[in-house]
Amino acid sequence: MLLMPNFYQVGSENLSHRFDGTAYLLRGDDYSILVDCGTPLGYQKIVQNIKSCGVNPSDIRYILGTHGHYDHVGAASDFKRDYGCKLLLHKNDVERVESGDKLKTASAVLYGEDFVPVKVDTQLNGGEHFTVGEFRIEAIHTPGHTPGGVCYEVEVNGLKLLIAGDTINGGFSKHIDSNEEDWKRSLDILCSRHYDMMVVGHSNATLLCDADDRLKDARNSFANYYNPWFKRFDQKYKY
């Protein structure tokens, strides 16, 4: 689904599999980049979506992970095996994906699935820059949802786009090492910057064009109320 020239949503609950977080394709001339890549259950559909954007999956050089969760980088092992993509992830989330930790990757509790262990090719610290086509990308370390959360700031044609992952609207649990104070600091960092547009970790193919106001609202509403009645995906409820 085209969101702007050379920027596509290729994975999501609606586009690939109901377990998939959002996955974005940034198309360049020589190579392309994925930001997140969904689950193994949505893998084939995401590959199909990439091809329908006119991109050969073999031309995807990097998968930039927003964090080490099943719904975001669960299919990284498939992409690496079939297309030789390199996985980049913040160093704080590396151990959980390389060991296939079912709890810390949220694969078991939320989805009832295993996490296929995957080697991270490059560990991020935050502050790294990447270029693909006309896009200039900066990795911003935004811990809170998980310790290795990363948002990607994308500059294109004078506009700034934030790929926020689960730093906006993500779940909070001690089982995935969520940290409230870290998360507040991360939101403060995002609020101190200017963004023209934003996309988040779970949504339809939508560019949110009031990003600054949404980030401010997210910061103001964060951790004001805890909902203990969370409903798991893998169970049925009468009410």
- The residues of the shown chain that bind Fe ion, judged by CB under 5 A, are 69, 166
Q: Quick one: 46 or 73, whose CB is closer to Fe ion?
A: 73
CB of 68 to Fe ion, least distance (A): 8
| Nearest approach, Cβ of residue 187 and Fe ion (Å) | 16
CA 42 to chain centre: 15
Residue 153 or 166 with smaller CB distance to Fe ion = 166
Whichever of 6 and 66 has its CB closer to Fe ion, that residue is: 66
Taking the complex as a whole, the smallest distance from the CB of residue 222 to Fe ion amounts, in Å, to 15
User: Token pair of 173, please?
Assistant: 């649990």
- Closest distance of CB 34 from Fe ion, Å: 17
Shortest separation between residue 67's beta carbon and Fe ion, angstroms: 6
Distances (CA, A) of 98 to 35, 66, 92: 18, 15, 12
Tell me the residue length of the chain. Answer: 239
Closer Cβ to Fe ion, 166 or 177, answer by number: 166
Residue 71 carries which side chain, given as an amino acid letter? D
User: How many alpha carbons fall within 13 Å on the CB side of residue 135?
Assistant: 28
Helix, coil or strand: residue 128: coil
Distances (CA, A) of 12 to 46, 72, 188: 9, 10, 27
Which CB, 53 or 108, lies closer to Fe ion? 108
Give the HSE-up count for residue 81: Cα atoms under 13 Å, Cβ half-sphere.
10
